[in-house]
Amino acid sequence: MRYNYSQGLTKGNVHSLESFGLVDGPGVRYVVFLQGCALRCKYCHNPETWAADNGSQWTAKQLFDKVYRFRNYWKDNGGITVSGGEPLLQMEFVTDFFTLAKAKNIHTAIDTAGQPYRQDEQWLEKFSRLMDVTDLVILDLKDWNSDRHKALTGMGNENIKQMAQWLSDYGKDMWIRHVLVPGLTDNEDDLKAMGEFISTLKTVKKVEILPYHAFGVPKWEKLGIKYELNDVEVPTDEQVKRAEDIIGVKNYT
């Protein structure tokens, strides 16, 4: 299928829009949440984005015209972030959307868990095209151990590590995020291995430890999905600091 990136005709499924995001990249961000995700993270705070066929359809140009009206919010130090769901499931749409943004010199970022990444030539060609109009990749490393990652999300993570390495080799700026869930993603050996891996990546600009929260539980209940982490406590400041020290967050701040 041929996509017309210059005219913004590619269609995508959009879950929701946030005009004033402060934690989704540098500066003030307009955040576009896309629909669809193959992971089933046990602590997901947006389970309503899992289904690919929900949401509303936009062309890239329709969406950009909507977003661009808010440009005074982000001015010179912010931009646009596409999140999800999983934005890499709609690469052609995001490429089209970001192409329009880069024509206006807008900073672009993708917030992704990396799960769709593949190393076949056709997929990488599309991914490279997207990266050419993406300034920053915010990559969520959910767990280091692939078996534990599968228990947590439903899928392993070897391809996600490969994607991080590809981004480093490609010269693409990255922020790395890790959600700290007591008893699930706080294993010291895994945190140490993750930190060692991150230290080998050449383009990581920031590393963040995000404390687990249960704000999404009402959404699970509304969807009739059993939430398995009701007994998990929010990590303390000391637990977060310990994880930061093990991973070496201070090396990137």
pLDDT value, residue 5 = 54
Query: Given this model, what pLDDT does residue 61 score?
Result: 94
Residues 65, 70, 76, 78, CA torsion sign: negative
Residue 24 confidence (pLDDT): 85
pLDDT value at residue 2: 42
pLDDT of residue 253: 63
**Which position has the token pair 């990581």?**
204
Q: What is the pTM of this model?
A: 0.93
Of the candidates 140, 250, 141, the one whose C-alpha atom is nearest the C-alpha of residue 194 is 141
The predicted pLDDT at position 21 comes to 78
Query: Phi then psi for 57, rounded to 5 degrees?
Result: -90, 135
Domains of the chain (ranges; CATH) run 11-252 (3.20.20.70)
In sequence order, the 6+-apart residues with CB closer than 8 A to the CB of 74 are 27, 28, 29, 30, 80, 106, 107
What pLDDT score was predicted for residue 100?
A: 94
Block means of pLDDT (10 residues each) for the chain, length 253 residues?
A: 59 90 88 92 85 88 94 88 94 95 94 94 95 96 93 93 96 96 94 96 95 82 85 92 91 72
**DSSP secondary structure string, the chain?**
----TTTT--EEEEEEEEEEESSSSSSSEEEEEES--S---TT-S-GGG--TT-SEEEEHHHHHHHHHTTHHHHTTT-EEEEESS-GGGGHHHHHHHHHHHHHTT-EEEEEE--TT---SHHHHHHHHHHHTT-SEEEEE---SSHHHHHHHHSS--HHHHHHHHHHHHHT-EEEEEEEE-TTTS--HHHHHHHHHHHHH-TTEEEEEEEEP--TTHHHHHHHTPPPS-TTPPPPPHHHHHHHHHHHTGGGG-
Q: What pLDDT is recorded for position 6?
A: 56
pLDDT at res. 112: 96
pLDDT at 84: 87
